Structure 1
Amino acid sequence: MKKAAIFDMDGVLFDTERLYRESWVETAAQFGQAFLPAFPAAVCGTSGAKLQAVVREYYPAVDAAAFVECCMERVRKVLREQPVPEKPGLHEILTFFRGNGVKIAVASSSEPSMIESNLRRTGVIDHFDAIVSGVQMPRSKPAPDIFLEAARRLGCAPADCYVFEDGLSGLRAGLAAGCVTVMIPDLTPPTDELRAACAAICDSLHAVIDAIRVGTI
């Protein structure tokens, strides 16, 4: 078992990636744009300048900053009005790692306030030794910065850290950081590239626990 576990948030700990996808659809309509089905996967896991660059690539006619803020505010509103949807196994995997002395971090492209709110509202914030937001990093996923910073804050070498991700950009970031990168598919199916590169592909947080117990990862 590795010394640390670093989790992406949306689509891994919480079933919130679908909220962003729905919000991107609504935002495109509000800005008078035809929704482009490839856009959510391209933008998944990005933040800051990288996120806006992807918006400009797909929707060159819009104000990228305003487009992003519109989407984010829609998601914030939904999460203010309903419970944060948890992924099955959320509490079990955090308890499992904590019980085995594994340090835990979240490394998400979401804003710090959103990360902390989701963790606090679901009662799991005390399990985390570090919280890292992509908006605090000089480069967004797929650059490795966020996972290297999470490993640094945990006091562990990247090779001693699991990274659990669902999106292509995040998985590439984990691999570039030199972490033991595990895909937990959500809205993006695994590709041949990811099957070859990732340490494992597990269909749930429960499956991750099983794989670690039997020594697969």
Structure 2
Amino acid sequence: MGDDDGSDVSAGLGLAPGARGCLFDLDGVLTATAKIHAQAWKKTFDTFLNAYDKRTGRTDQPFDQGADYENYVDGRTREDGIRSFLASRDIKIPDGGPEDAPGTESVYGIGEAKQWAFMSLLEEHGPQVYEGSVRYVHAARAAGLGCAVVTSSTNCKDILRVAGITDLFDATVDGHDVSAQHLRGKPAPDSYLAGAKALGIEPAYAAVFEDALSGVEAGHAGAFGTVVGVDRVGGDHAEHLKQHGATVVVKDLSELLGAANAEEKR
């Protein structure tokens, strides 16, 4: 692809000139599973806090499905999210290990409880796909750009399969890869750098699409050509995304296509 062609393609997708690949977060960008994750975290943390407070005599506020999810959990690996939230409450518990049963008072025990809660809710509601995002991925592929999913979720392949969009992506980097390759979780750029490597492109020629603050931080830290913040919640979230590294913020990826079409008509 020549420089001129790359610029034209990039402009048609609302990206910086020369883009050759797109790296999409899963939950909140491609699918509405972020809402299911938030519900699962609330159920899990509230159950933990209730038991912990009874044992220690503390009085903790319940998990805030908005602020706590956004600030401490969203976009991070499961274990990092648990450590981050517990640190915000000045709660210290053992890490434990992957063999810990759900409900064990350990980081991994809480993680297993969250996984059970998430899978139960996923079975009940299914993964809703954002149609605007799917249209954008189709447009990116039609323009010759590589597309990959980069997520901290260990449920990535199942969600893509159930949603019927597996074939849209050339590569995936998920929670299993983060663990197996010893990658640092978001806000470190490691997983997105791995996604760019899987597509065979340099970060400067790749675009990151994220709804989480930790995710846009990762895109910024990795010096990616474009960091698109996706604001699904409203309020101050758009401004927070910009503050944490997003170069452009939209409510839906279809807006990037809409902006391009509007320019063509002028």
- TM-score under structure 1 length normalisation: 0.89
Partner of 2:63: 36
- How far the C-alpha of 1:211 sits from its partner, in A, is 3.7
- Moved runs in structure 1, 4+ residues, more than 6 A? none
- How far the C-alpha of 1:64 sits from its partner, in A, is 2.0
User: Counterpart amino acid of 1:210?
Assistant: G
User: Counterpart amino acid of 2:257?
Assistant: I
- How far the C-alpha of 1:116 sits from its partner, in A, is 0.9
Per-residue CA deviation, residues 130-183 of structure 1 (Å, 9 max, x unaligned), is 100144222000000001000000000101111000010000001111111010
Q: Which moved more, 1:149-158 or 1:128-137?
A: 128-137
Larger radius of gyration: 2
Residue identity over aligned pairs, in percent, reads 27
- Following superposition of structure 1 onto structure 2, how do residues 93-132 of structure 1 map, counting pairs within 5 Å? 93-111=136-154, 114-132=155-173
Q: How far apart, in 1, do the equivalents of 2:80 and 2:149 lie?
A: 20
- TM-score under structure 2 length normalisation: 0.73
Q: How far apart, in 2, do the equivalents of 1:200 and 1:27 lie?
A: 34
Taking structure 1 as reference, are residues 46 and 135 closer, same or farther at Cα in structure 2, changes over 3 Å only? farther
Partner of 2:29: 12
Partner of 1:171: 216
2:110 to 50, 62, 67: 67
Taking structure 1 as reference, are residues 185 and 39 closer, same or farther at Cα in structure 2, changes over 3 Å only? same
Partner of 1:133: 174
- How far the C-alpha of 1:48 sits from its partner, in A, is 5.0
Q: How far apart, in 1, do the equivalents of 2:214 and 2:150 lie?
A: 13
- How far the C-alpha of 1:198 sits from its partner, in A, is 2.3
Per-residue CA deviation, residues 2-34 of structure 1 (Å, 9 max, x unaligned), is 110100000110111111211222112322164
Q: How far apart, in 2, do the equivalents of 1:196 and 1:76 lie?
A: 30
Q: How far apart, in 2, do the equivalents of 1:64 and 1:58 lie?
A: 14
User: Counterpart amino acid of 2:222?
Assistant: A
Q: Kindly indicate whether structure 1 or structure 2 has the higher relative contact order, using CA contacts under 8 Å at least 6 residues apart.
A: 1
Tell me whether 1:51 sits opposite 2:99 in the alignment: no
- How far the C-alpha of 1:109 sits from its partner, in A, is 0.7
Taking structure 1 as reference, are residues 192 and 79 closer, same or farther at Cα in structure 2, changes over 3 Å only? closer
